Amino acid sequence: MRWDSRAWFLGVLDRFLSEEQRRLPPEELGRYRVLVGATVLNLVMAAQMSLSGLSSPLRSFFLVAGPGVLAGYVGVLVLARRSRSPRLPSLLLCSLLSVGIIAASLSMGTQQAATHSAHMLLPALAAYLLGVRLGLLFTLLFGLNALLLQPLLQVGFDLSRPLFPDEMSRMMSVLAGGSFLGGWALNSLHVLARQESHTALTRTLSVLSKREWQLTSLIESTDDMVVALDGEGRLITANQAVRTFFPEFRVEDGPPDRSILEAFPPERRERMRERLQQALSGQRVRVESNYQLGGRRVTLETLISPVLGEGGQVVGALFVGRDITARKDAEARLSEMHRSLLDVSRRAGMAEIATGVLHNVGNTLNSVNVSAHLVTERMGSLRLAGLVKSAELLREHEADLTTFFTKDVRGRQLPAYLQALGEQLSRERDTVLEEMRRLSDSVDHIKLVVSMQQKNARFSGVMERVSMPELIDDALRLHAVSFERLGIQLRREYAELPPVVVDRHKLLQILVNLVSNARHALLDSQREDKQLDIRVERDGERLRISVRDNGVGISAENLERLFTQGFTTKKEGHGFGLHISALTAEEMGGALLVTSAGLGQGATFTLELPMDGAAKAQGSPEASTRAAG
């Protein structure tokens, strides 16, 4: 591991500070570190000078002043650790330095001691630690020492003597005083510049803090869920609404590099990753998702928007989620009411048509009744008894017919009677035939009315816009209890599709039939992992709904007859469900297909429908062939 000298040095200085002081802002912490560093440095130098001075002619001075100076520096360190501001220990440090340096220069008795370049450190240190004004005070004190106190000491405070022995000494003292003021001025400019920068930064931070507070207040005041992410998908902030719905979304709990995707269940994570990538690529994504929260089903509408930085670059994403459960429930109730109105309207139309049919059929039945009554009367009034008697007379006289017809009165009248009877029966026959024709016409009229009603009923389905996932869920809901009881695992794969215009009731009938067949196939199967897959996808202008099970499967020879009327492989089946479903799909302009790898391999039923619901293919050979195949 590489040794970091800077970190080590700062760590040494921070040991003299309290834990609270170490958490101060960088500028305030830096001032404390300079104070401690200067104090420790002067403490070491003072200790060294005191030890060295014990063997010098000024031994008595160092014996007296040394311990006091050392105690003063230790006091600065103690005061610096306990104080809430560096001002007081800084004032003590500068005072100790000033007294020590001035006393040392006076004790040396030479002008060079008062004008030494080391004195420049105190004005710079004072200006930095105490500010411009107090720094000027210590600078003037050093200048006074160089220009007045030291020269007075040199002449024994005899004002009649010149303060400076020569021109060089005077110039050195004036130069030293100017240098002290120049050093203070330059460092003061640096301090003032830092103060102005700090003031501007403070003002900017204040504005930013105010705007942040306003933005936070605005975000927190909304009932919508707001989540901000950076460009890597890491959570930046989340308002209270998010934390209420999803307690795991907390900025302070997780590590800063934790992706928001980790908070989603595995089955949602990949889909959410795709949507987040779309947003980070500059697209706006709107999705609806269902969640189970607190034992209730919640529907959230989420808008994922890209966040743009400088130059229009995407730097993050913003999630705005809204609880639309109440709205979806209201829409569901409204949709149910709409369907109820459609059903009532359909029943009303059917009742009106039925009334017309009954009226037409009733009138015709009256004619049928009249014709049948007349036929009955005519048939009852036929003079068949005279014909029978005539036949008996002919049978009695069949041996002497010539004598009977020439000499017997009854025989001579019999031909005329038979002629009259034949003419009467012929007329009666024509009357009955006319009534039978009328009766046949009435029956044909009834058949025509019924046929017209059947034709109209075939196209009487109401076309409406239907959401496929909702309709399929309605069909599945009828078997939900049995799915759970039988241990059938249900998997849905719904593509995002617009509403489709279809006859809802016809399509629901087909779906219920297919789901019921799949349930029976899984029930008869001995598999433990019973699986039912429902898939909805779009293929161009066609809608494809697939119902796949891993049940008993279908043999190859039965596939060709599966949609035939009356054919079934179930013990209690009647063979009408798939046949009617295939015909209904054909009427809707689509087709019903089936595939199976064989017995025990499951089966897949695929319903294809036009997206717009307008295409019709009743009776087309192609549709019939596909439905039967």
Q: What are the DSSP calls for 452-515, one per residue? A: HHHHHHHT-PPEEEE-HHHHHHHHHHTTHHHHHHHT-EEEEEE-----EEEEHHHHHHHHHHHH
Question: What one-character DSSP code corresponds to residue 310?
Answer: G
Question: What average pLDDT does this structure show over 268-297?
Answer: 81
pLDDT digits (tens, 9 = 90+) for 174-188: 766 666 676 677 667
Predicted TM-score (pTM) of the model is 0.37
Q: Say what the pLDDT of residue 458 is.
A: 47
pLDDT digits (tens, 9 = 90+) for 476-520: 765 655 677 778 888 999 888 888 888 877 788 788 888 888 888
Q: Say what the pLDDT of residue 287 is.
A: 83
More confident residue, 537 or 457: 537
Q: How many CB atoms lie within 10 A of CB 360?
A: 17
What are the chain's domains? Answer: 5-199 (no CATH), 222-323 (3.30.450.20), 330-458 (no CATH), 463-628 (3.30.565.10)
Q: In what order do the strands lie in the sheet with 603-610?
A: 489-494, 531-539, 542-549, 603-610, 591-595
More confident residue, 588 or 242: 588
Q: Which of 361-370, 429-438, 595-604 has the weakest average pLDDT? A: 361-370
Q: Say what the pLDDT of residue 28 is.
A: 83
CA 253, CA 556: separation in Å to the nearest integer?
Answer: 60
Question: What average pLDDT does this structure show over 600-627?
Answer: 62
Residue 417 has pLDDT above 60, yes or no: yes
CA 534, CA 547: separation in Å to the nearest integer?
Answer: 5
CA distances from 347 to 54, 84, 332, 343, 466 (A): 122, 87, 22, 6, 20
Q: Say what the pLDDT of residue 114 is.
A: 63
Q: Which of 161-165, 313-317, 431-435 has the weakest average pLDDT? A: 161-165
pLDDT digits (tens, 9 = 90+) for 34-89: 888 888 887 887 787 777 666 666 666 667 667 887 888 888 889 988 888 888 88
Residue 349 has pLDDT above 60, yes or no: no
Q: Say what the pLDDT of residue 34 is.
A: 83
Q: Which of 182-186, 292-296, 527-531 has the weakest average pLDDT? A: 182-186
* pLDDT band, very low/low/confident/very high, at 406 (cuts 50, 70, 90): confident
Q: For the chain, how big is the Rg over CA atoms in Å?
A: 56
More confident residue, 451 or 544: 544
DSSP H helical ranges for 155-235: 167-221
Residue 330 class from Cβ within 10 Å (0-12 exposed, 13-18 middle, 19+ buried)?
A: exposed
Percentage of residues of the chain with pLDDT beyond 70: 72
* pLDDT band, very low/low/confident/very high, at 574 (cuts 50, 70, 90): low
CA 259, CA 248: separation in Å to the nearest integer?
Answer: 12
Q: Say what the pLDDT of residue 623 is.
A: 35
Q: Say what the pLDDT of residue 616 is.
A: 44
Q: Which of 70-79, 136-145, 224-233 has the weakest average pLDDT? A: 136-145
* pLDDT band, very low/low/confident/very high, at 549 (cuts 50, 70, 90): very high
Q: Say what the pLDDT of residue 618 is.
A: 38
pLDDT digits (tens, 9 = 90+) for 141-163: 777 777 777 777 766 776 777 77
* pLDDT band, very low/low/confident/very high, at 24 (cuts 50, 70, 90): confident
Question: What one-character DSSP code corresponds to residue 561?
Answer: T
Cα-flanking dihedrals φ and ψ of residue 214, to 5°? -65, -45
* pLDDT band, very low/low/confident/very high, at 93 (cuts 50, 70, 90): confident
Q: Say what the pLDDT of residue 200 is.
A: 78
Q: Say what the pLDDT of residue 615 is.
A: 45
Question: What average pLDDT does this structure show over 360-381?
Answer: 71
Question: What one-character DSSP code corresponds to residue 146?
Answer: I
More confident residue, 17 or 568: 17
DSSP codes of every residue in 531-559? EEEEEEEEETTEEEEEEEE-SS---HHHH
The structure tokens listed for 381 are: 């009034």
Q: In sequence order, which residues have a C-beta less than 8 Å from that of residue 222 and are 6 or more positions away?
A: 239, 241
Q: 3-state DSSP call for residue 156? A: coil
Question: What one-character DSSP code corresponds to residue 259?
Answer: B
The structure tokens listed for 252 are: 């302070």
3-state helix, strand, coil in the chain (%, to 5): 65, 15, 25
Residue 626 has pLDDT above 50, yes or no: no
Residue 533 has pLDDT above 90, yes or no: yes
CA 307, CA 389: separation in Å to the nearest integer?
Answer: 115
- Residue 210 one-letter amino acid: K
CA distances from 327 to 286, 530, 625 (A): 16, 36, 45
Q: In sequence order, which residues have a C-beta less than 8 Å from that of residue 440 and are 6 or more positions away?
A: none
* Mean pLDDT rounded to a whole number for the chain: 75
Q: Say what the pLDDT of residue 189 is.
A: 67
- Name which of 341, 538, 372, 342 is nearest 440 in CA terms: 372
CA 574, CA 605: separation in Å to the nearest integer?
Answer: 19
- Residue 377 one-letter amino acid: E
If you count them, how many residues does the chain have?
629
Q: In sequence order, which residues have a C-beta less than 8 Å from that of residue 499 and are 6 or more positions away?
A: 465, 466, 467, 468
Q: Say what the pLDDT of residue 255 is.
A: 44
Question: What average pLDDT does this structure show over 183-209?
Answer: 73
Question: What one-character DSSP code corresponds to residue 526?
Answer: -
Q: Say what the pLDDT of residue 54 is.
A: 63
